[in-house]
Structure formats: structure tokens, C-alpha cells
Structure 1
């Protein structure tokens, strides 16, 4: 079973969200998603200042097997991107929850966090897909 930290929230589309407690949230893809993709070779980062809506495509992750659109699980403004992924995209595979984060977003609607899945709910979703 994939690593599913309990301090994060998840989207059914395999993105994770960490509420930073300061009106921002960090977003990345789950361990399960990076396993499905295989070796990541490129990450297209969203533009700083971009306003994104929940469910909107905001990033792209390419692997040796496929390219996958990444959908924002929350709405808000992109306030930081993980520039390190430009040179070391494989960090998404090696450390999806720490070094492999994609962006930080200033939340426009913190209530959206409540709509996301808990770790237990996400694990159940992944198990159903298996």
C-alpha cells in the first residue's frame, strides 16, 4: 500500500493538500499517483500569481510512461512554486510529500478543505481502484 500521511487531505484525482495554517496550502501528488506514473522526467509548474479554481488543471507531470494533468484540489492564488523540480523532477518520485510538492496556494475559500478526503477515505478510494 502507498504511503498516505494522515496530516494531509486528498482529492480523488490523487493530489494532496497540506493546510499550512496561515491561509495557504501546499499541493502535490500522492505517493500512489507517482507510483502509477513511474519515473518522473518533467514537471510543468503553475505561474506565480495565477488564480486557480478547484478542479482546474494547474500543472503537468511527465514520466517515462505518460503525461498527466494535475488538477487543483482547492481555489486560490499560486504564491510559491517548487522551482527545484525544474532541475530535479525525480524528487516527485523520491519524496512526494516533502521535497516533491508542486505549489503553495493562498486559499480563496478555506471551506473547500472540508470537501477533501481524509487519509482513511483516500486509502479506501485507492483500494477500490486496485
Structure 2
């Protein structure tokens, strides 16, 4: 995963956005997932997806996600080279979706966990 640039840190400081605190980052089938300090997981698009697909030109959530299981459809994406459905690497309850995905597709093309995350998930106990 890319580190946050100096300028992005400055911007986040003035806008009040905090950098996600991530630990134990893992990757499965094009999705990175990392445990946050609150015990929930943040899921996003791994750099390997960009290498296979090129620039992402369209993305959409296939369903209204609430409870997900491993390998459930997470995000439909189209790129310059192919069309894919990314699958969930973990099971749990979706507590937040990245609403910016449908508004500005260019944010998904940045290998930055602050902008290319897909969902936040509370894992099953």
C-alpha cells in the first residue's frame, strides 16, 4: 500500500480527516483488508487490480451490503482491460460503504487507503 504523501497529510490536517490506523494488512484476490484500532476492518482495492485492469472506469456495489460472508460479491468494477467482481475476504457486518465511489471514480485509481477503500466491516465474533 502506498504511503500518504506529505501534501495529503497537510490537506487532511486542515480538513479534519484522519489517516486510517491500519495494522496486519493482508491481501486476498485483489482486496486488501486491515484491522483498525477499533477492531473493525477496512477493505480496499489492492495495487494488483490496477496492474491487471488498467485504469478503473466504473464501479458499483452489486447489492445493498449488510451482512457479508467470505467470497460474497463486494464491488463490480470495469477497467480499461477487463470487468471484474471483487469478493469479500472476510465475513461480518458492513458498518460503512465508501459513498465517494459512485461520485468520483478517479478516487479509486489512487493506491491510497484513505480514498480507495470500499467498506468498513465489523467482523463476526
TM-score range (shorter-chain normalised) is: 0.7 to 0.9
TM-score of the aligned structures, taking structure 1 as reference length: 0.70
Q: Which runs of 5+ in 1 are unaligned?
A: 110-130
The question of 1:70 aligning with 2:86 is answered: yes
Deviation beyond 6 Å, 4+ runs, structure 1: none
Question: 2:50 corresponds to which residue?
Answer: 34
Question: 1:107 corresponds to which residue?
Answer: 123
> Comparing both structures, which one devotes a greater share of its residues to helix?
1
Q: Distance in 2 between matches of 1:25 and 1:96?
A: 16
2:89 aligned counterpart, secondary structure: coil
> Comparing both structures, which one devotes a greater share of its residues to strand?
2
TM-score of the aligned structures, taking structure 2 as reference length: 0.73
How big is the shift at 1:72?
Answer: 0.3
User: Which structure has more RCO (C-alpha within 8 Å, separation ≥ 6)?
Assistant: 1
- What's the RMSD between the two structures over aligned residues? 2.1
How big is the shift at 1:97?
Answer: 2.6
Question: 1:55 corresponds to which residue?
Answer: 71
